[in-house]
Structure 1
Amino acid sequence: MSNQIMRAALCATLTCAALGAAAPALAELGGAPTPAPAGAVSSSVNAAVVHAASGVASATSAASYTVTQTTFATGTIVREYVSAAGTVFGIAWNGPIMPNLPALLGSYFSQYDSARVAQRTANPGRGPLNVELPGLVVRSGGHMGAFSGQAWLPQSLPAGVSAADIQ
């Protein structure tokens, strides 16, 4: 086998491994949560809405949403925010590898991608993305080895929950 063929085979293997490392995200925005993929560590916690004025959690909102945090083998952490009705209303991520945004954003990805392309066309270069559409907000930034971002559906935020809660 020639060196060129061996290099091509190695490159293909590494590409497949890299794509496999960026395993699908937990759930899609606006949909139901799904189990964590194999090799990921996941935990959930019920979150209460804390009233900003008093700093006290409301007894009536003791389980207004659930946060599920999954740590992938790559070190990337994805947190999904799930309403009491079982719908993912927000997602946040941070880590060395960008998560699979088409999987995270689901049916909202095409709206995000169009806005992203328009934003980059108007302002070429690098830098954080802040996409604010009527039914979708996505903030994403970072650099190789340190990515972070949030995405949420403003119309789906539970009562008393703000965008600042999605971290």
Structure 2
Amino acid sequence: MSKVILFYVVWPAVLAGAMSAPGMCRAELGGMASPAAASDAAVVHSLTSGLFQVRTTTDDGGTTINEYSTPAGEVFAYTWQGPTMPDLKALLGSFYDSWHDGAASAQASESALHATRIARPDVIVESGGQMRSYVGRAWLPRALPAGVSADDLR
């Protein structure tokens, strides 16, 4: 598949589908974590070290999304794995435009079809996979709690 078709046809279609999918109530990067609603099938895990909490949900497309927040409730990262891409506009929130600018530049110059890593000063997003098998993570490098590295985001 040529880069032109990928950039102008496939990539916008994937983004449009991801952004139009209804999502569960969750915070955006840099925001405060939303409390789990009674109808929300979220499971909250806390590390024994108390450095952060992980809230796991499954979106309407069957993708598992982990929300990482500080003990004070600030969301600093997301990871995902599943058959559909999550709504990145909702997850990234105010960082979406920064990511989108970086993604547009990368698409024009990279040849990787199944994986991207967009590293901006304010947000880093890694995403990969193929149809029905997507994985990725997004985090705020400056908001990672002391003692936590990107390797801890799984």
- 1:111 aligns to what? 98
Q: TM-score, normalised by structure 2?
A: 0.80
Aligned-pair distance for 1:73? 3.7
Kindly provide the amino acid, as one letter, of the partner of residue 116 in structure 2.
L
Residue-by-residue CA offset, 1:103-158 (whole Å, 9 max, x unaligned): 00000000000000000011256221101112211000111101110001111111
The answer to whether structure 1 residue 84 and structure 2 residue 77 are counterparts is no
- 1:33 aligns to what? 33
> Share of identical aligned residues, percent?
36
* Structure 2 unaligned residues grouped into runs of 5+: 1-18
State the alpha-carbon separation in 2 of the partners of residues 19 and 86 from structure 1: 27
Q: TM-score, normalised by structure 1?
A: 0.74
- 2:116 aligns to what? 129
The answer to whether structure 1 residue 44 and structure 2 residue 41 are counterparts is no
Measured at CA, do residues 146 and 160 of structure 1 come closer, stay the same or move farther in structure 2, by a change above 3 Å?
A: same
Q: Secondary structure at the match of 1:69?
A: strand
On the 8 A contact 1:96/1:145 being kept in 2, the answer is: yes
- 2:152 aligns to what? 165
State the alpha-carbon separation in 2 of the partners of residues 74 and 147 from structure 1: 11
State the alpha-carbon separation in 2 of the partners of residues 88 and 64 from structure 1: 12
Larger radius of gyration: 1
The answer to whether structure 1 residue 139 and structure 2 residue 130 are counterparts is no
Residue-by-residue CA offset, 1:12-52 (whole Å, 9 max, x unaligned): xxxxxx945x425622001011245786521001114xxxx
The answer to whether structure 1 residue 97 and structure 2 residue 84 are counterparts is yes
On the 8 A contact 2:57/2:64 being kept in 1, the answer is: yes
On the 8 A contact 2:24/2:59 being kept in 1, the answer is: no
Measured at CA, do residues 106 and 154 of structure 1 come closer, stay the same or move farther in structure 2, by a change above 3 Å?
A: same
On the 8 A contact 2:59/2:86 being kept in 1, the answer is: no
Q: Secondary structure at the match of 1:44?
A: strand
Kindly provide the amino acid, as one letter, of the partner of residue 81 in structure 2.
N
